[in-house]
Amino acid sequence: MKFKIITLIFVLIIGLEITLKIDLFLIILTLILYLIIVIYGSSVICSNFYFKSFCKKQTNKKIFAITFDDGPNKEFTPKFLDVLNKENIPATFFCIGKNIEKNTNIAKQISKNHLLANHSYSHSNFFDIYPSSRVIDEIKKTNKLIKDITGNNNLYFRPPFGVTNPNIAKAISKLNIKSIGWSIRTFDTTNKTEKNIFNDFKKNITGGDIILLHDNNQKTLNLLTKIIKYAQKNDFKIVSLEELIN
Ligand SMILES: [Zn+2]
The alpha carbon of 87 and the centre of ligand 1 are apart by a number of angstroms equal to 26
The alpha carbon of 122 and the centre of ligand 1 are apart by a number of angstroms equal to 10
* Distance in Å from the first CA to the final CA of the chain: 24
Q: Using 50, 70 and 90 to split pLDDT, how confident is the model at 195?
A: very high
The alpha carbon of 25 and the centre of ligand 1 are apart by a number of angstroms equal to 39
Rounded distance between C-alpha atoms, residue 69 and residue 48, angstroms: 20
The alpha carbon of 22 and the centre of ligand 1 are apart by a number of angstroms equal to 44
- Is 110's pLDDT higher than 80? yes
The whole-number average pLDDT for the span 198-221 is 98
Rounded distance between C-alpha atoms, residue 165 and residue 172, angstroms: 11
Rounded distance between C-alpha atoms, residue 196 and residue 178, angstroms: 31
The alpha carbon of 11 and the centre of ligand 1 are apart by a number of angstroms equal to 34
The alpha carbon of 92 and the centre of ligand 1 are apart by a number of angstroms equal to 13
- Is 40's pLDDT higher than 80? yes
Q: Name the pairing type of β-strands 115-118 and 53-54.
A: unpaired
The alpha carbon of 57 and the centre of ligand 1 are apart by a number of angstroms equal to 22
The alpha carbon of 164 and the centre of ligand 1 are apart by a number of angstroms equal to 13
Strand partners, 179: 53, 157
Q: Using 50, 70 and 90 to split pLDDT, how confident is the model at 185?
A: very high
Rounded distance between C-alpha atoms, residue 59 and residue 208, angstroms: 6
- Is 183's pLDDT higher than 80? yes
For 238, list phi and psi in degrees, rounded to 5. -90, 115
Beta carbons of 157 and 172 less than 8 angstroms apart: yes
The model's pTM: 0.94
In the chain the beta strands, taken as DSSP E runs, fall at 53-54, 63-69, 92-95, 115-118, 156-157, 178-180, 184-185, 209-214, 237-238
The whole-number average pLDDT for the span 201-220 is 98
The alpha carbon of 69 and the centre of ligand 1 are apart by a number of angstroms equal to 5
Q: Using 50, 70 and 90 to split pLDDT, how confident is the model at 10?
A: very high
